[in-house]
Structure 1
């Protein structure tokens, strides 16, 4: 028996309308709005590509694998959101409209809320491998006013492209937090960021392989900055000249976040440090938007 495909869209619409009606009594108006839109778009997608039952089964298997590989050190669903550009789209949709504020980018899966505190000028590397790098700047408002006491969280991968939580020994390296000084100054030692691949040994990696996409992220340093009266800033700085700036696997690069790492010859460095051999310096101001538009 053959199927009359001309009748399928009408049948499909009836299913969609029935599902939409099931959410009509949702008490929370925002949840009702989100669920209605989700159903419409999800059903429209399935109809548009004429999703087969076998393809849907494979999709369920993919999501199940993502759940199984997720643990306290790895969040495969964040990776999936990242490589689909959904994480970055959400960032853009929620960015403050205040001109001059440092642009936001993706949070990433490797933040740890138990990072050690370091003093101004301290070392967040804590044994992470890589060339010494001195990072400094000011935390300020869009009007130029210094923000004293802002909490500046920093984390990064080592020169081999691994975050501390990816090692099995429980180390804490390449991360820390500090308070900005009286003039908004922040400064710390770390290591020069290096490009690295996102974890690609799971279902997200299989998706990248199947679509001929690479897993690489350009060299970057993560920041999260919080201060009373200001919106939380989550951002990166990226190194100029990195070969992956134009093909970031998670679409996080913004032109205003690309900085130069200046090579310095061996010798006395800021804060009285004496790195072995050459070192690098990066200067970048962290400009916070006020929270009045939230």
Structure 2
């Protein structure tokens, strides 16, 4: 009698058992050697290198710490909770990478500073793809989201030449310290937007003054991890930017208003000295109206040029860094 078409069977992948017979793992060292031996079948040199090193370092970590079964299970449960927290508009694994300094390290190795170019920093877990395309001078934030901020500058190359039609994407929290993605009733992007530089490389937009904020510990596995590590969970106030232009290296950066007490101990190691900026206070009602602010006469002004490097300049800087 034939089986019903609805019956499913476990499916083997396309790989067969290795020709080399591996010894049964009678001791810890054999387990590591076997795992590396199986990875030797990987035909991709880069992939093989990454997994060889991952296996070695991960196994060595287990040996050095004498990891217990209970600790291993706690780690599994933590990673499970981290994955379950991720959504299409929130990336908890990026946040985990951030607080362990991995994101900052990857950024530093891949995006070395090129001359006077604007330094990069971590992306963070709250970038989304749905920011609205806005016109120069528009506001990224709906009214009431915080104190007024006007941001303007030029996008230029390392020689100071303007870069027209560059895409400037920006996002930040409101004055409560929440990104729009942290609100359960979010129905549209807020405190984020996408702009283009003009023919002279100039960009401008209205925003709100950034505030310092905590990585939440009540519903956030990474926040709970920081509690376990006896570390504070604060990020200094900052404004994210992602800048792209044809023929130039993509830039992911943030700007941190000076004077924030958390700058030197940012929970995700994102602050670089050149990214600490001064906000100027403008108290002029006519100027506020000309910038498009609806209420009051006072706003903060950030004048910040963005200097992009070419891929060739960036590659030379990477090669120089690797030789250092």
TM-score range, shorter chain: over 0.9
- Computing the radius of gyration from Cα coordinates, the structure with the larger value is 2
Structure 2, unaligned runs of 5 or more: 1-25, 316-324
Match of 1:6 in 2: none
Given that 2:166 and 2:196 are in contact with CA atoms closer than 8 Å, whether structure 1 keeps it comes out as: yes
Q: 1:139 to 1:25 in 2, by over 3 A?
A: same
Q: 1:51 to 1:267 in 2, by over 3 A?
A: same
* Aligned equivalents of 2:156, 2:182: Cα separation in 1: 33
* Aligned equivalents of 1:278, 1:243: Cα separation in 2: 24
Given that 1:224 and 1:232 are in contact with CA atoms closer than 8 Å, whether structure 2 keeps it comes out as: yes
Q: 1:272 to 1:36 in 2, by over 3 A?
A: closer
* Aligned equivalents of 1:128, 1:116: Cα separation in 2: 19
1:100 aligns with 2:116: yes
- Deviation at residue 52 of structure 1 after TM alignment: 1.2
Q: 1:97 to 1:73 in 2, by over 3 A?
A: closer
1:290 aligns with 2:293: no
Match of 2:133 in 1: 117
Given that 2:243 and 2:252 are in contact with CA atoms closer than 8 Å, whether structure 1 keeps it comes out as: yes
Structure 1 stretch 166-175 or stretch 98-107: which is displaced more? 166-175
Match of 2:87 in 1: 71
Cα distance per residue 1:78-120 (max 9 Å; x no partner): 1111110111111111004522111111101111212111111
Match of 1:222 in 2: 240
* Aligned equivalents of 1:290, 1:217: Cα separation in 2: 30
1:53 aligns with 2:72: no
Q: Find the partner of 1:178 among 172, 195, 203.
A: 195
1:167 aligns with 2:187: no
Structure 1 outlier segments of 4+, above 4 Å: none
Given that 1:262 and 1:281 are in contact with CA atoms closer than 8 Å, whether structure 2 keeps it comes out as: yes
**In the comparison of the two structures, how many residue pairs are matched?**
285
* Aligned equivalents of 1:117, 1:235: Cα separation in 2: 19
- Deviation at residue 122 of structure 1 after TM alignment: 1.4
Given that 1:127 and 1:173 are in contact with CA atoms closer than 8 Å, whether structure 2 keeps it comes out as: no
Cα distance per residue 1:133-171 (max 9 Å; x no partner): 111111011111110000000111011101112122223
Given that 1:149 and 1:181 are in contact with CA atoms closer than 8 Å, whether structure 2 keeps it comes out as: yes
Structure 1, unaligned runs of 5 or more: 1-9
Given that 2:155 and 2:201 are in contact with CA atoms closer than 8 Å, whether structure 1 keeps it comes out as: yes
Given that 1:128 and 1:191 are in contact with CA atoms closer than 8 Å, whether structure 2 keeps it comes out as: no
Correspondence list, 1:3-152, <5 A: 11-127=27-143, 129-152=145-168
Match of 1:238 in 2: 256
Q: Over aligned residue pairs, what C-alpha RMSD do you find?
A: 1.6
